[in-house]
Amino acid sequence: MELYDLTIHQAHELLARREISSVELTQALLDRIAAVDEKVKAYLCVLEEAALADAAAADRRRAEGEDHPLLGIPLAVKDVLTTRGIETTCGSRMLENFKPTFDATAIIKLRDAGAVLMGKTNTDEFAMGSTTENSAFFTTHNPWDLSRVPGGSSGGSAAATAAGECIAAIGSDTGGSIRQPASFCGVAGLKPTYGRVSRHGLVAFASSLDQVGALGKDVTDCALLLQTMAGHDPMDSTSAELPVPDYREGMDRSVAGIKLGVPREYFREGMQPEVEQAVRQALDVYESLGAELVDISMPHTDYCLSTYYVLAPAEASANLARFDGIRYGYSAPDAQDIWETYRKTRAEGFGPEVKRRIMLGTYALSTGYYDAYYLKAQKVRTLIKQDFDRAYAQVDALVAPTVPLTAFRIGEKIDDLLQLYLVDILTLSTNLAGICGVSIPCGMANGLPIGMQVLGNAYQEATVLRVAYAYEQATDWHLRRPPL
C-alpha cells in the first residue's frame, strides 16, 4: 500500500511505531499532489514548505514522547475556514488575496493536536453549490471519472481525500456540502450536530445551518477528526456546552437489536435505480447483523427544498452584507463615493450563484414578503423538525440514500437551477433539523461510487458512527480507491 492511501489510524500506527516519520508521509503526499492534482484540481493552494515544517515539528513532538491520533497527520482544509496568514478565499474573487489574522477554532484544535496542514481545498463560492462549478477559480474533477463533478461544496476536500492527496480533510456542511461530495467521491463524510463544533472562523454562509465536519477514507477517521474539533468555544455562543464523549469507545459494538428507520419518502420516484438498489442491499446487511428495520414516514420531506432555499439565502444575504470593500477583501478601485464602492465591489467581487442567492434572500426578507416567505419557511422548518422528533421517538437512527444519483458530468446541470438544487433534496433536512449524519460508500454504478447516510438525533454522533462502522466492517466499499 502506498503511504498516500493510508487512513489516519493506519498512518498513526506507523508513526507511533517509528516506521515512518511525518516528514516522509507529508513528502509522499506532496509527491502525490504533484502527480495527480493537475488532473483532479482539488487544491486552491498547496502549502509545501509550511507542511514540511509542520511535519518536522510533529516529528520533534513525537520524539519528545508526545502522542495524539492526529500528531503528524497531513490534512486538507476547505478554503472556508480561516487560517492565520494563509489565503482564505472561499472560492471567491471577493477574498482572492485575503490573509486572515486569526485561525478558526477548529484549525487551532487540529494544530494543537499536531496535524499537518497540506493546503486549502476548492469549494463552490462561499460554499454555495453542489459541484464546485461555482468556484471563481476552477472546477474540481471527480477522481473516479475526471469528466464528472466531485460534488460540493466541499468538493475539493472530498476529491483530495479520495485521490490520496491528503490523509483526510475538513469540510463544512450547510445543506449537504460534506455528505453529498463524500457520496460522489466514495469517501466517508460526517456532518456533526449544529453546535457540536465551533463555527468561529468558518466564513458564514447560513448561520443557523452551517457546521464544520470531517471527510475521511473511513468512519474511524471521521470519529478521530470530530473528537479533536468538537467542544464548546466561548467564541461561538451557539456551540454546545456539553461534554464531548469518546467517539471511538463503543463504536465497534454490534448493531444487533438497534432500530434503524427507513424513511420511505427518501426513496424517491425518479431516483437512479442502482442507488436505490445499493441502499436496499445495505439495509439487508443491517438486517443480517441483527438490526431491526422500521418503516418511517417523514411527510414534510417534499417541502425541504423550498424551506431551505428561502432560509439559507435569507441568512446568506445578511451574512454577505459584510463584504463592502472597506475592511477586507476586494474593493472596486474606481468608485466615486461610498455607495458606488458598495455596489461595484459586490458586483465585481461576487459570482453569479452568490448574487442569485443574495437577491433571493433579500427578496424573502423584504417588506411585504417577509411573512409569505421567510416566516412561512421558518414555520415549515418546525414541521420538518417534528418529523425527525417523531422518528427518533421510535428508532435509534435513520438510513437513506445520500443523493438520489451518482456524480454527473461537469456542465450537465449548471443551466437548470431547480434540477441542480434537487441534487441536495435528501441532505437538506438534516441541517434544517440541526441533527447529525454521516455518509459512507455502499456500492458502485458504472464505475462511480454510491453513498448512503446514517442520520442521528442531536448529539447522537456516537450512534451514527457505530451504525456506519458496523456496515463498513461487514463490507469493503470503503477500501476501493479511484483508478488515477
| CA torsion through residues 325, 360, 429, 188, sign | negative
| C-alpha neighbours within 13 Å on the C-beta side of residue 172 | 35
Annotated catalytic residue, options 177, 183, 239, 317: 177
Nearer to another protein, 9 or 346 (CB): 346
* CB-nearer residue toward another protein: 339 or 476: 339
The three three-digit cell numbers of residue 207, written as one number: 448561520
Indicate the residue among 19 and 415 with the shorter CB distance to another protein. 415
Question: Measured between alpha carbons, how far is 94 from 234 in angstroms, rounded to an integer?
Answer: 29
Which of 335, 444, 445, 484 is in the footprint of another protein by CB under 8 A?
335
Beta bridge partners of 443: 450
E strands in 383-435: 397-401
Size of the site for another protein (CB under 8 A): 71
- Regarding 45 and contact with another protein (CB under 8 A), the answer is no
Q: What is the DSSP letter of 413?
A: S
- Indicate the SS3 state at residue 166: coil
Q: Do residues 361 and 379 lie in contact, with contact meaning Cβ atoms separated by under 8 Å?
A: no
Tell which positions 199-258 bind another protein, by CB under 8 A. 208, 234, 237-238, 240
Q: Does 34 bind another protein (CB under 8 A)?
A: no
Smallest gap, in angstroms, from Cβ of residue 328 to another protein? 3
Q: Which is nearer to another protein, 27 or 362 (CB)?
A: 362
Per CB under 8 A, 93 contacts another protein: no
Burial of residue 10 (number of CB atoms within 10 Å: 0-12, 13-18, 19+) = middle
**CA quadruple 207, 213, 215, 218: dihedral sign:** negative
Tell me the window of 125-133, 162-170, 262-270, 358-366 that interacts with another protein (CB under 8 A).
358-366
Per CB under 8 A, 267 contacts another protein: no
Catalytic residue among 22, 153, 198, 439: 153
Q: What is the crossing angle of helices 219-229 and 461-474, to 10°?
A: 160
Nearer to another protein, 300 or 478 (CB): 300
What is the SS3 assignment for 400?
strand
Strand (E) positions, 81-144? 116-121
Active site residue 306: no
User: Rounded distance, CA 197 to CA 105, Å?
Assistant: 9
For the CB of residue 459, give the shortest distance to another protein in the complex, in Å. 9
Residue 63 or residue 326: which is nearer to another protein going by CB?
326
| CB neighbour list of residue 231: distance below 8 Å, 6 or more residues apart | 109, 197, 198, 239, 244
Our finding on whether 373 is near another protein (CB under 8 A) is: yes
Select from 55, 360, 448, 468 the one that contacts another protein (CB under 8 A). Answer: 360
| Pick 355 or 481: Cβ nearer another protein | 355
Question: Per rule CB under 8 A, is residue 366 in the interface with another protein?
Answer: yes
For another protein, which residue of 50, 303, 444, 473 counts as binding (CB under 8 A)?
303
From residue 403 to residue 442, the character string flagging contacts with another protein as x (rule: CB under 8 A) and all else as - is --------------xx-------------xxxx-------
> In the set 154, 193, 198, 228, which binds another protein (CB under 8 A)?
193
Residue 453 binds another protein, judged by CB under 8 A: no
Work out whether 3 is an interface residue with another protein (CB under 8 A): no
Q: Which of 41, 217, 248, 346 binds another protein (CB under 8 A)?
A: 346
CA angle 354/356/360 to nearest 5° reads 115
Is 19 exposed, middle or buried, given 0-12, 13-18 or 19+ CB atoms closer than 10 A? exposed
The answer to whether 135 and 94 have CB atoms below 8 angstroms apart is: no
Cα atoms in the Cβ-side hemisphere of radius 13 Å centred on 11? 35
Do 349 and 400 meet the contact criterion of CB atoms below 8 Å apart? Answer: no
**Residue 355 contacts another protein per CB under 8 A:** yes
Q: Which listed residue (34, 359, 474, 479) binds another protein by CB under 8 A? A: 359
Active site annotation includes 331: no
Supply the minimum distance, in Å, between the C-beta of residue 310 and another protein: 6
Residues within window 315-334 making contact with another protein, judged by CB under 8 A: 317, 321, 324-331
> Between 102 and 267, whose beta carbon lies closer to another protein?
102
Among residues 89, 174, 307, 406, which is the contact residue for another protein, using CB under 8 A? 307
Phi, psi at 175, each rounded to 5°: -150, 15
Strand order of the β-sheet with 74-78 is: 43-46, 116-121, 74-78, 168-172, 212-216, 188-191, 436-445, 448-456, 397-401, 259-263, 292-296
- Residue positions annotated with a catalytic role: 78, 153, 177
